[in-house]
């Protein structure tokens, strides 16, 4: 079963994350509004889409969303939009515990419920891996999404 992953943005770790996911049972659709921020080499199960954050509304039910943008305000905007979509399988934001705390504060001010806020995974990746090198982040995120994929299987 291939799981859909939607990485938004082109942060420093996105190329490594996309390449890691391309070798696993995922269908990846990279989304960014800037045409010059896509991979030079695009694996067969990766599609690049030049569009804006409204693409979150077109994500299929159960999709995994990764938010890895160059701008904190845009990160927060997309994360808030993703959390409005109750049927997404995973909503992850690259960052830190501090970034998550700031997001929670802003989300509460926007009237988001604690249940919805709790769905946001930030930072993404396995929590015991703290290295910030793109390849290490990619390995942690890939492992995390494989675990989420297993949990999403029927009967789990």
Res 47 pLDDT > 80: no
Domains held by the chain: number: 1
Domain that holds residue 80: 3-152
Res 75 pLDDT > 90: no
Looking at residue 49, its pLDDT comes to 66
Q: Out of 36-40, 62-66, 95-99, 149-153, pick the least confident.
A: 36-40
| CATH for 94 | 3.40.50.720
Instruction: Report the C-alpha gap between 75 and 79 in whole angstroms.
Output: 6
Looking at residue 67, its pLDDT comes to 92
| Residues contacting residue 126 through CB under 8 Å, at least 6 positions apart | 140, 143, 144
Give pTM, 2 decimals: 0.88
Q: What is the mean pLDDT of residues 15-43?
A: 78
């Amino acid at each position: 079963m291939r799981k859909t992953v939607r990485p938004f943005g082109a942060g420093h770790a996105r190329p490594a994350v996309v390449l890691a996911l391309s070798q696993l049972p995922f269908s990846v659709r990279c989304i960014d509004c800037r045409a010059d921020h896509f991979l030079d080499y695009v694996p067969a199960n990766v599609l690049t889409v030049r569009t804006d954050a409204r693409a979150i509304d077109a994500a299929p039910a159960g999709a995994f969303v990764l938010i890895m943008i160059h701008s904190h305000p845009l990160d927060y905007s997309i994360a808030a939009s993703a959390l409005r979509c109750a049927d997404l399988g995973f909503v992850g934001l690259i960052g830190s515990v501090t970034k998550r705390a700031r997001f929670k504060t802003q989300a509460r001010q926007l009237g988001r419920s604690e249940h919805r806020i709790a769905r946001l995974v930030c930072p993404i990746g396995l929590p015991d891996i703290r290295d910030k090198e793109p390849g290490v982040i990619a390995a942690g995120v890939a492992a995390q999404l494989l675990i989420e994929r297993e949990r999403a299987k029927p009967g789990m």
